[in-house]
Structure 1
């Protein structure tokens, strides 16, 4: 593994609550943020950093991702927790951040919505399914 590790959503939320410098970066697309929802860190006095790993609608990897992440004003050495829909794009983002000397960078396991259940619905795990705060629209 080329980043600090995978953490369950509740552990990521607890770390964000415990460390004033820790940040959550949601690497999903603009469409996902708009239509599916976003984690809500307002009770922690924080905002989610929204930064696409892959562009919508073409799905191309955002070649400016690391540059944009640096431009987000992260404190030096701040723990960064990356989140996507299921944990795949966020793992790639964590690897890229680590390679660029940012972080420690963590991947939030199962992402925002988690894997499919036996009926093809995303009800098994993830930020939303773990009962963590989020909002829609």
Structure 2
């Protein structure tokens, strides 16, 4: 079972645990146009590995290989984030199956669910929590 962790708790873990990492599994288009968690205060950068490739949204068959290539060790605490928490949960499950011991899903992801007007980013998730992020 993969634990859902609130964005603020993830931020605190990234600040307090030197080996904790954030792996953003959204698409390159989302990273470019929607924005990224800004981890400068933690002294870290998000690890960017697509779970699905835009525009086909085909699953990345080399996801675990890319995690290893990014020097993420099986003993590290790895927090996976996507737009709303679905792709990141799948990525966390794949990492756990590959032997990563401490994997977590960022609850509600970067943008969270849509509000009544269909807009994301102000109901729940990383952005709605007011955590640092940057665009472009």
TMscore range, shorter length: over 0.9
| 2:134 pairs with 1:135 | yes
Query: Hey, which of these two has a bigger chunk of strand by percent?
Result: 2
Runs of 4+ residues over 3 Å off in structure 1: none
The answer on whether the counterparts of 1:21 and 1:75 sit within 8 Å (CA) in structure 2 is no
Q: Which residue of 1 aligns with 2:85?
A: 87
1:56 maps to what in 2? Answer: 54
Q: Which runs of 5+ in 2 are unaligned?
A: none
The question of whether the paired residues in 1 share the 8 Å contact of 2:51 and 2:60 is answered with: yes
Which residue of 1 is the match for residue 29 of structure 2? 31
Normalised to the residue count of structure 2, the TM-score between the two structures is: 0.96
Between the aligned partners of 2:124 and 2:67, the Cα distance in structure 1 is 27
SS of aligned partner of 1:33 = helix
Once the two structures are superposed, residues 58-111 of structure 1 have per-residue CA deviations (whole angstroms, 9 ceiling, x without a partner) of 100000001111111023400000000000000000000000001410000000
Q: Is the 8 A contact 1:40 1:133 kept in 2?
A: yes
Contact 2:74 2:99 in 1 (8 A): no
Structure 1 residues not aligned, in runs of 5+: none
- For 2:76, what is the secondary structure of its paired residue? coil
1:45 matches 2:43: yes
Q: TM-score, length-normalised on structure 1? A: 0.96
Instruction: Give the CA RMSD over aligned residues.
Output: 0.8
Secondary structure in structure 2 of the residue aligned to 1:77: coil
